[in-house]
């Protein structure tokens, strides 16, 4: 199984980056944050004439609980509204139809407790008011979470600038959904384009396999070196598909559409294709080195994934695809010659 | 014997096509500067035109001119519009908002307007709000404090305040409506009516409504969403009188066929009346003449 570490975007949680004038002891900061109830991983690096500290916190259980309560509350609230609006009120004022008001009150009370709000659901008769108080309590849970992070950090660290990237459970779900859609539609469109363009099975399959190999090699590199799977790395993986299609289509066009000996054509394509790939590798290598120096994680993630993929592409395209295509073209030539004979 | 001149004679001869290309470049450059808002579209058009020229004319000179033109127009585009830096470089806060359900374009537009107006009430005028798809909104704030972020988060998550006002008193509020029962009937399905909205009220809401409207038959119910407090309205008297007559006649079955200006203005003032919270109305024409409110 691929041991890929999902980043904050797909795992949820909070990533805080601090710029500091003085170095800090990562371990003692981690212990201080633990005293405040925050389980975090802390790393710090020197960068030119300052220092960067990265604090990563897992998804908050309070936020997960708040989302669960909200989903259940909303579902039951909508049902209860329809029940109350359509039922008849008996002479003593009670609803004659079934009601889930008790369940609703329990959920609301749990949210009030979670948000440390001093309210009781059974004291709020009106459903709209109950919904309003519930929404306020829900927002307060997030507010409390933000404060629970920023207050200890301000207490223990003197920073010059701060960047806080928080991904809630709902947002994490949204990112995952969008990532799946992006991958699915990119793959489908690429496959359709390739098969439509070449209209022959073996070369088209070779191109698609080449692109898939590059992505899998890059994912393997990410797992090996612990590069987190984040939105930038997803973008880099999709970009890799483009790079791979580039060299594969170059090879396939030269092999299928040009006249001459198949092996000579393959070698010509190899010279052009490797020049292209090496140029891209050098460009991303420069970005990678800059990212190591500046500790900008987005540059690091994108360039590392691109490097793995491009190096993998050299093997996938010229080691696998070229052989497949050469076999295909040579066997077609042989069968053509046999037919003439 | 004729004497030959040692001077080199320089003559600039442009072919028609080259001259046309240079003329096009000038047109595109002028358009980029004059219509900076459409600079992107102009650049795209230039790429299509010069790209097309490169395809059909196999002259190295023309292709070079075309390529240089596109590069220069791109640089001009950047010079005119600048580079839009994201918050990674400019600093700020980005808040993605995910709606409970997908909405149509009209509703999305109203939600965005509501968020912008709530942000401006909080003094945050540099808020960028844009829709992503049909159930997501991206909110970007320039450099803000933690308290401001917290305030805007609370403001955005608040539901709108609905009020139904009859004769200056609140007869109906959003808390009295069952939200799942609100239905819009297609305009024109009932003869003589433009549009109809159906909803069910709570028993308490129904009692409040009944007691407020008692003895006031055919009084209009003025409905507001997020009715502003501590506000004034400044409008053109001419526009109010020209459009107001139709509006007043539509809500009042006893109104005469033609209304005087006084009746129209009174109806408008009546719509803005609410005990302890009237919205004062001022006419632009009077302000310009330095008069006080009506």
Got the DSSP string for A194-235?
HHHHH--HHHHHHHHHHHHHHHHHHHHHHHHHT--B-HHHHH
Among residues 165-204 of chain B, which lie with CB inside 8 Å of chain A? 174-181, 200, 202-204
Query: Picking from A147-151, A200-204, B33-37, which range would have the lowest pLDDT averaged per residue?
Result: A200-204
**DSSP string spanning B175-229?**
GGEEEEEEEEEPTTSSTT-S-EEEEEE-HHHHHHHHHHHTT-TT---EEEES--S
Residues in chain A with CB shorter than 8 Å from the CB of B207 are none
Residue A226: is its pLDDT beyond 90? no
Residue B259: the pLDDT is 59
Which residue(s) pair with B282 in the sheet? B234
- Yes or no, beta carbons of B178 and A127 under 8 Å apart: yes
Region A127-154: mean pLDDT is 89
Contact with chain A for residue B102, Cβ under 8 A: no
Q: CA A231, CA A229: separation in Å to the nearest integer?
A: 7
Helix (H), strand (E) at residue B131: strand B127-132
- Give A328's contacts (C-beta < 8 A, 6+ positions apart): A202, A203, A206
- Extract the tokens encoding A118: 């001093």
ipTM of this predicted structure = 0.70
Helix (H), strand (E) at residue A297: helix A297-315
- Yes or no, beta carbons of A85 and B153 under 8 Å apart: no
Residue A86: is its pLDDT beyond 80? no
Residues in chain B with CB shorter than 8 Å from the CB of A171 are 96, 98
Contact with chain A for residue B120, Cβ under 8 A: no
Contact with chain A for residue B90, Cβ under 8 A: no
Residues in chain B with CB shorter than 8 Å from the CB of A84 are 178, 202
Of B174, B180, B204, the CB nearest to A81: B180
Q: CA B46, CA B40: separation in Å to the nearest integer?
A: 10
Residue B258: is its pLDDT beyond 80? no
Q: Which of A194, A229, A224 has its CA nearest to residue A212? A: A194
Contact with chain B for residue A176, Cβ under 8 A: no
Q: Which of A219, A245, A243, A246 has its CA nearest to residue A233? A: A219
CB contact at 8 A, B225 and B162: yes
- Extract the tokens encoding B229: 């407090």
Residues in chain B with CB shorter than 8 Å from the CB of A137 are none
Q: Helix H segments across chain A?
A: 8-11, 26-35, 61-86, 101-114, 127-156, 169-198, 201-225, 231-257, 262-294, 297-315, 322-340
Q: Which of A341, A337, A197 has its CA nearest to residue A262? A: A337
Contact with chain B for residue A142, Cβ under 8 A: yes
Residue B37: the pLDDT is 86
Residue A284: the pLDDT is 95
Between chain A and chain B, the number of residue pairs with CB atoms below 8 A apart is 54
Which residue of chain A has the CA closest to B160?
A132
Q: CA A261, CA A329: separation in Å to the nearest integer?
A: 10
- Extract the tokens encoding A63: 């936020």
Of A128, A139, A174, the CB nearest to B154: A139
- Yes or no, beta carbons of A81 and B174 under 8 Å apart: no
For residue range B155-181, what is the model confidence (pLDDT) as tens digits? 777 777 889 999 889 999 988 888 888
Contact with chain B for residue A74, Cβ under 8 A: yes
State the smallest CA–CA distance between residue A44 and chain B in angstroms: 20
CB contact at 8 A, B281 and B293: yes
pLDDT over 90 percentage in chain B: 11
> Which of A63, A85, A174 to probe by mutation at the B interface, max B CB count within 10 Å?
A85
State the smallest CA–CA distance between residue A79 and chain B in angstroms: 9
Of B100, B175, B179, the CB nearest to A129: B175
- Yes or no, beta carbons of A135 and B159 under 8 Å apart: yes
Say how many C-beta atoms besides its own lie within 10 A of residue A134's C-beta. 26
Helix and strand counts by DSSP (H, E) for chain B = 10, 10
CA B33 centroid distance within chain: 25
Residue B247: the pLDDT is 55
Q: CA B53, CA B58: separation in Å to the nearest integer?
A: 9
Residue B11: is its pLDDT beyond 60? no
Q: Map B66-114 to HEC letters.
A: HHHHHHHHHHHHHHHHCCCCCHHHHCCEEEEEECCCCCCHHHHHHHHHH
Contact with chain B for residue A85, Cβ under 8 A: yes
Rounded to 5 degrees, φ, ψ at A213 are -60, -45
Q: Which of B95, B101, B86 has its CA nearest to residue B119? A: B95
First and final CA of chain B: distance in angstroms?
Answer: 100
For residue range A22-77, what is the model confidence (pLDDT) as tens digits? 888 889 999 999 998 888 999 888 877 788 899 999 888 999 999 999 999 999 98
**What letter does residue A331 receive in the DSSP assignment?**
H
- Yes or no, beta carbons of B154 and A127 under 8 Å apart: no
Q: CA A64, CA A66: separation in Å to the nearest integer?
A: 5
Q: CA A113, CA A146: separation in Å to the nearest integer?
A: 17
Contact with chain B for residue A97, Cβ under 8 A: no
Pairing of the two strands A13-20 and A161-167: antiparallel
State the smallest CA–CA distance between residue A312 and chain B in angstroms: 31
**What letter does residue B122 receive in the DSSP assignment?**
T
Residue B4: the pLDDT is 45
State the smallest CA–CA distance between residue A129 and chain B in angstroms: 6
pLDDT over 90 percentage in chain A: 26
Residue B7: the pLDDT is 46
Contact with chain B for residue A135, Cβ under 8 A: yes
- Yes or no, beta carbons of B178 and A171 under 8 Å apart: no
State the smallest CA–CA distance between residue B281 and chain A in angstroms: 32
Contact with chain B for residue A75, Cβ under 8 A: no
CA A318 centroid distance within chain: 30
Residues in chain B with CB shorter than 8 Å from the CB of A170 are 98
Residue B3: the pLDDT is 44
- Yes or no, beta carbons of A126 and B159 under 8 Å apart: no
Residues in chain B with CB shorter than 8 Å from the CB of A74 are 100
- Yes or no, beta carbons of B181 and A85 under 8 Å apart: yes
- Yes or no, beta carbons of B154 and A143 under 8 Å apart: yes
**The tokens 């004319």 sit on which residue?**
B57
Region B12-20: mean pLDDT is 77
Q: CA A56, CA A164: separation in Å to the nearest integer?
A: 10
- Yes or no, beta carbons of B202 and A126 under 8 Å apart: yes
For residue range A248-303, what is the model confidence (pLDDT) as tens digits? 888 888 888 888 888 888 898 999 999 999 999 999 999 999 998 888 888 999 99
């Amino acid at each position: 199984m691929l041991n890929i570490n999902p980043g904050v975007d797909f795992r949820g949680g909070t990533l805080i980056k601090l710029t500091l004038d003085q170095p800090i002891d990562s371990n003692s900061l981690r212990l201080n944050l633990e005293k405040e109830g925050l389980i975090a991983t802390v790393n710090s690096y020197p960068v030119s004439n300052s220092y960067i500290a990265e604090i990563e916190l897992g998804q908050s259980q309070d936020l997960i609980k708040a989302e669960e309560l909200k989903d259940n509350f909303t579902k039951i609230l909508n049902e209860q509204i329809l029940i109350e609006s359509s039922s008849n009120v008996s002479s003593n004022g009670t609803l004659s139809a079934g009601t889930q008001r008790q369940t609703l009150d329990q959920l609301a009370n749990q949210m009030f407790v979670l948000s440390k709000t001093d309210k009781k659901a059974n004291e709020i008769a009106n459903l709209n008011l109950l919904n309003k108080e519930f929404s306020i309590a829900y927002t307060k849970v997030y507010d409390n979470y933000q404060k629970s992070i920023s207050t200890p950090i301000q207490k223990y660290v003197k920073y010059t600038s701060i960047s806080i990237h928080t991904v809630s459970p709902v947002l994490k779900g949204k990112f995952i959904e969008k990532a799946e859609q992006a991958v699915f539609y990119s793959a489908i469109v690429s496959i359709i384009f390739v098969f439509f363009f070449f209209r022959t099975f073996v070369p088209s399959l070779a191109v698609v396999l080449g692109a898939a190999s590059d992505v899998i090699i890059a994912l393997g590199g990410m797992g090996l070196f612990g590069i987190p799977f984040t939105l930038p790395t997803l973008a880099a993986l999709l970009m890799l598909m483009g790079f791979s299609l580039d060299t594969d289509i170059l090879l396939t066009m030269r092999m299928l559409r040009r006249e001459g000996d198949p092996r000579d054509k393959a070698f010509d394509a190899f010279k052009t294709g490797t020049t292209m790939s090496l140029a891209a590798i050098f460009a991303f290598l420069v970005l990678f080195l800059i990212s190591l120096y500046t500790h900008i994680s987005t540059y690091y993630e994108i360039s590392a994934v691109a490097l793995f993929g491009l190096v993998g592409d050299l093997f996938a395209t010229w080691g696998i695809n070229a052989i497949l295509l050469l076999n295909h073209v040579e066997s077609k030539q042989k069968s053509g010659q046999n037919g003439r004979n | 014997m004729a004497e030959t001149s040692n001077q080199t004679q320089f003559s600039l001869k442009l072919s028609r096509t080259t001259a046309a290309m240079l003329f096009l470049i000038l047109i595109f450059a002028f358009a980029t500067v004059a219509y900076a808002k459409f600079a992107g579209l102009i650049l795209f058009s230039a790429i299509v035109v010069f790209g097309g020229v490169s395809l059909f004319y196999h002259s190295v000179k023309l292709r070079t001119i075309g390529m240089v033109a596109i590069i220069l127009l791109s640089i001009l585009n950047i010079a005119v519009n600048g580079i839009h830096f994201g918050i990674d470089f400019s600093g700020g806060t980005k808040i993605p908002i995910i709606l409970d359900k997908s909405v149509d374009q009209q509703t999305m537009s109203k939600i965005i307007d509501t968020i912008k107006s709530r942000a401006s009430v909080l003094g945050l005028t540099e808020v960028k709000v844009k829709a992503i798809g049909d159930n997501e909104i991206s909110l970007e704030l320039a450099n803000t404090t933690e308290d401001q972020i917290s305030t805007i988060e609370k403001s955005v998550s608040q539901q709108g305040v609905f009020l139904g006002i009859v004769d200056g008193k609140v007869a109906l509020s959003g808390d009295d409506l069952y939200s799942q029962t609100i239905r819009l009937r297609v305009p024109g399905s009932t003869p003589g009516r433009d549009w109809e909205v159906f909803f069910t009220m709570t028993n308490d809401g129904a009692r409040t409504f009944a007691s407020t409207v008692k003895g006031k038959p055919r009084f209009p119910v003025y409905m507001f969403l997020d009715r502003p407090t501590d506000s004034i309205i400044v409008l053109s008297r001419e526009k109010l009188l020209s459009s107001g007559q139709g509006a007043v006649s539509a809500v009042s079955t006893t109104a005469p066929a033609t209304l005087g200006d006084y009746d129209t203005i009174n109806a408008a003032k009546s719509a803005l009346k609410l005990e302890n919270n009237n919205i004062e109305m001022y006419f632009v024409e009077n302000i310009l003449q330095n008069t006080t409110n009506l």
